[in-house]
Chains A and B, each alone.
Chain A
Amino acid sequence: MSNSILTDNIKTIEFDALIVGGGGSGMRASLELAKSGLKTAVVSKVFPTRSHTVSAQGGITCAIASADPDDDWRWHMYDTVKGADFIGDQDAIEYLCSEGPKAVFELEHMGLPFSRFENGRIYQRPFGGQSKDFGKGGQAARTCAAADRTGHALLHTLYQNNVKEGTNFLNEWFAVDIVKNSKEEVTGVIAFSIESGEVAYLKAQATVMATGGAGRIYASTTNALINTGDGLAMALRAGFPAQDMEMWQFHPTGIYGAGSLVTEGCRGEGGYLINKDGERFMERYAPNVKDLAGRDVVARSMVLEILEGRGCGENADHIFLKLDHLGADVLNSKLPGICELSRTFAHVDPIYEPIPVVPTCHYMMGGTPTNVNGQAFRRTNGNDSIISGLFAAGEAACVSVHGANRLGGNSLLDLVVFGRATGMHIQEELKSGGGVESSSKGDIDASLERLNKLNESTSGYETASVKRELQECMQNYFGVFRRGDFMEKGLNELAEIRHKVDNLHLKDKSSAFNTSRVEAIELQNLFEVAEATAISAFERNESRGAHARDDFPNRDDENWLCHSFYDPINKKVSKREVNFAPTKVDAFPPIVRTY
Chain B
Amino acid sequence: MLTNQLEVSMYRYNPEQDEFPYMKKYKIEKPARDIMVLDLLHLLKEEDESISYRRSCREGVCGSDGMNINGKNGLACITPISSVMKKNKIELRPLPGLPVIRDLVVDMTEFYAQYEKIKPFLQNNTTAPEQERLQSPEDRDKLDGLYECILCACCSTSCPSFWWNPDKFVGPAALLQAYRFIADSRDLETVERLDALSDPFSVYRCHGIMNCVSVCPKGLNPNKAIGEIKSMLLKSKKNIITSDGTN
Residues of A within 8 A of B (CB): 46-47, 49-52, 54-55, 64, 66, 104-105, 108-111, 113-122, 146, 149, 152-153, 156, 160-161, 163-164, 195, 224-226, 258, 260, 337, 340-341, 344-345, 462-464, 507-508, 510-516
Contact = CB atoms under 8 A, between A and B. Distances in A.
B57 A55 contact: yes
A90 B183 CA distance: 43
A110 B120 CA distance: 11
A111 B122 contact: yes
Listed residue (B17, B53, B62, B105) with the most chain A CB atoms within 10 angstroms of its CB: B62
Classify the interface of chain B: helix, strand, loop or mixed.
Answer: loop
Contacts, number: 147
B137 A510 contact: no
A108 B101 contact: no
B49 A55 contact: no
Nearest to A517: B49
A54 B187 CA distance: 23
A510 B50 contact: yes
Interface centre among B112, B132, B134 (most CB of A within 10 A): B132
A118 B53 CA distance: 45
Nearest to B46: A464
Contacts of B108: 47
Interface of B: 14-17, 45-46, 49-50, 52-64, 78, 101-103, 105, 107-108, 112, 116, 119-122, 124, 128, 130-137, 139-140, 143, 147-148, 150-151, 181, 184, 186-187
A224 B120 CA distance: 26
A64 B131 contact: yes
A149 B59 contact: no
Q: Which of B59, B136, B140, B143 has the most CB of A within 10 A?
A: B59
B64 A46 contact: yes
Given A52-B62, A341-B60, A512-B16, 18 more contacts: A49-B63, A50-B64, A51-B62, A52-B56, A55-B61, A110-B121, A113-B184, A117-B137, A118-B136, A121-B132, A152-B61, A160-B120, A163-B121, A224-B57, A224-B58, A508-B50, A510-B50, A511-B16
Given A464-B46, A510-B50, A152 B59 contact: no
A335 B63 CA distance: 20
Contacts of A260: 59
A156 B147 CA distance: 9
A162 B101 CA distance: 26
B128 A513 contact: no
Contacts of A507: 49-50
A511 B61 CA distance: 29
Nearest to B112: A47
17 contacts: A46-B56, A105-B130, A111-B187, A113-B184, A116-B140, A117-B137, A121-B132, A163-B120, A224-B56, A224-B58, A225-B55, A507-B50, A510-B16, A510-B17, A513-B102, A513-B105, A515-B52
